[in-house]
Structure 1
Amino acid sequence: MITKGAFPNIFEACSFAEVEPGKVEDISKIKEQIEKQFEEFSQKGLRTLGLAYKDMDQQKTIKKEQETEMTFLGFLAFFDPPKQDILKTVEDMEKLGISLKIITGDNKFVAISISKDVGLESTRVLTGSEINQIDKEALVQKVNDIDLFAEIEPDQKEHIIEAFKKAGKVVGYLGDGINDASALHAADVGISVDSAADVAKEAADIVLMEKSLEALVEGVKGGRKTFANTLKYVFMATSANFGNMFSMAGASLFLPFLPLLPTQILLTNLLTDFPEMTIATDSVDKEMVQVPRRWDINFIRKFMVVFGITSSLFDYMTFGVLLFVLPGMIEQFRTGWFTESVISASMIVLVIRSRKPFFKSKPGKYLLITTLLTAAVTLLFPFTPFAGPFGFKPLPISVIIIIAAIIGIYVITAELIKRIFYKKIKF
């Protein structure tokens, strides 16, 4: 019978050792020498298995209980060098606020060697046997301070993942073996590779087509850009709708006529949708990619109220100015508010899309084009043959200049409010 496996388990099952071909001695005589050799292999980063045999009569089946009083034959040592770009990848992950932890079944000496090879200098190691000696709450307290988990059994991987989650971390787990399935299920994001075991791929949320941490880095960047652009849309849509609700309700109460006809409202919504549709392609500030963020409904609510009310105040300002300069001219009043409403909604996207001053953050090409195109179409629409069916009339140049001034003041005011808002309310 020939047996190979984890060195501690094989060594424990051996009573003898073959010191030379055909020469067998009691293993106790060279026990320290064998253990020292194993430690040296491990410290060099070699994954080391034990190899043993036992002379037996021919049998159809062999039971585990028969793996006793075996003869230790030697080691099987393997070296799997890290990829050359791993140091840069780990550095990139740290810049993105991602902490890299290693969970391995290898012994702690191999784990320490591997961690140094990938740029993790920490020697904080927790072994599977040590985990068995502490309760779950103690593990939760410990995990954030540990970088290496060595000699870990398959079921312990899931316990470690759960401990990180209870400690308030969002956990991604990368594994490719059958023994990783439970940990992949437990993680917030289970990640495997195309060459992994089928069970691991089925348990994973994401399957990488190439076995590379760099792909993870790019995936994180892409995810954060998508999240940032999603927030831009939510900020813009909620604040605009909240503000329009107050503007329309107030105008309906105080004006003797409808401020906008139903068809005009639909046209307003259609035109303001064009810049919104290109937000998904917008460029994202580096600061938004470097720091992980979470969905915060309270922050969104505050943003909606502050910028929605600001929008309404300038709508009311527009009402007052239009009533003063266009007395009794209902169609031109509606044309004026339509113009101000669409252009201001388009321009304000350029303000709220970034925490930086809008002139210091370059918008995406398609967002900029659709914003300028929407503003131009809105400004020229009342002068086209299509204006009549919608109930619009051309505005005097003087009124257009006044509306442009109101929009300019609105953009500047929104920029100032944005700076104050982000200083007082953290996200």
Structure 2
Amino acid sequence: MNEMQVPVTEEEAAAIIRDHAERGASLSIAGGNTRSGFGNAFEAETDLRSTGLTGIVAYNPGEMVMTVRAGTPVVEVEAALAANSQMMAFEPMDHRPLMGTSGAPTIGGIFAANVSGPRRLLSGAARDSLLGVRFVNGRGEIVKAGGRVMKNVTGLDLAKLMAGSHGTLGLLTEVTFRVPPTPKSQQTLVVSGLNDAEATAAMAAAMALPLEVSGAAHLPLTVVWKFLGGKLPEGEATVLRIEGLPASVDVRMEKLAAAMAGRGRVTRLDDEQSRWIWRDIRDVLPFADGTMRPVWRVSVAPGIGHQLVAALRLQAGVDAFYDWQGGLVWLRMEAEPEGDLVRRYIHALGGGHATLLRAPDKDRASTAAFQPEPEAVALLSQRVKAKFDPKGIFNPGKMG
């Protein structure tokens, strides 16, 4: 069984990493470990957790910037932000229902995995909110990059490089990020009865309007009944969210409803229903089914997501729904991961990224979890990895 170490200071974390680097011993880096089972299967000598590094370091709501130690539970961050009517604009997913894990998600884990939810369409990904980081590299050196204001371009690039690195470049110890105001209200328009291709066209049309649509998803018949307790209107549901001041939301919803009326049956969800359905889209409710059936997170151009699903359905048992205007496809396979098939079709349709998020251990051992990188990108990634972690001790199973 792996040893677990939970440092409570940055210096203690650095000492642990230096020791492992000197011995060439591997480290599995995690926060609350709520994405346990994600990545290629590997065994590390030591599990290094950031959960001892907790607390809000600096937060002035007027500046709309927060600095937090990486092991701080997300629920604590959200509570502090809610008390000041602010938010994490990128709407991070809670992986526990899908992955069947427990524990508490940490703010460092959110940025290390670049976890970004439905509002990414309007507000960008987690890395786009990140202003600065502190981390310990593979030499056991404490590094500071970026800061509380957007001045240091080099530092910002380094901070953003850490976002989405999955602990392969270093242990995040502190993050600084933007926290904009929470919208006062929201509503969601439901367009019912569209097939996948029609829904893709409808979402593209909605996003082209000057209405600041902050969420665009499509729920086919196989999954739609799982949302809102099965109380959505009959048929497939294409859902479009608008947020802001109540009067502005009302006006923009009227314009959106008029634009969509010719495409299908149109209904509205009020503020409470809208928050409910987008939380469940964010957390991939249909596939949080208590099984280990393989789940892929596929990022493609919005116009081709439905083509990918149609092609896969001819060859394999697959269920799917769409977020990000169709550009994020959640796929659940009924049996095998079919990694070669999924990636072959993605390549044929113009390219994208398929990440195996959940699967039984035997499938994780035989299927690459991350999209293979083009040769030039892979060489660059190897050089970056060698610079940050020259002994290769960090999270070998989380490398693309």
Say which structure is richer in helix.
1
Say which structure is richer in strand.
2
TM-score using structure 1 length: 0.21
TM-score using structure 2 length: 0.22
